[in-house]
Structure 1
């Protein structure tokens, strides 16, 4: 269950990064709503990270949380913000995913 909560926490990290990107593109009330989404996602993500770090090793939990956030944010950037896709970017993204999976495999 804690691993599922950690994944959800990582997805909310992607959410707060995406909200920052959308806020940058917005003005007025819309920008305020995106910043509100950022604060909500940030709060949920941090709460879940704190909760799982009480059970899972903090080094592993934090690495997996940031890894999910990093991979997810890159994917969101490519799909929604039209960021460039290159061989090297995809190679290092694959390396990062492999490292996250490896941490999960070697953690008790």
Structure 2
């Protein structure tokens, strides 16, 4: 299947923008949460992926479904943030026990 150059160029541009969002969010999370870059990049990638997916879904639903989508999205983002924090803390505790 031959994909038109404009379609490939568009997808590449979107991918670059998504990577930019991930990098910006990872920078912010690194500063705010004092976590290593590896953790903040993974967290940022998960968050941006979910937000973009929800945004695409929101285009095709009504107001009530959009409200439910928003509630689900907030819950998912909170779960990712809490999970990243607790994962990081667990890794720190492991390292502390190994150095004793």
TM bracket, shorter-chain basis = 0.3 to 0.5
Does 1 or 2 have the higher relative contact order (CA < 8 Å, sep 6+)?
Answer: 1
Larger Cα-atom Rg: 2
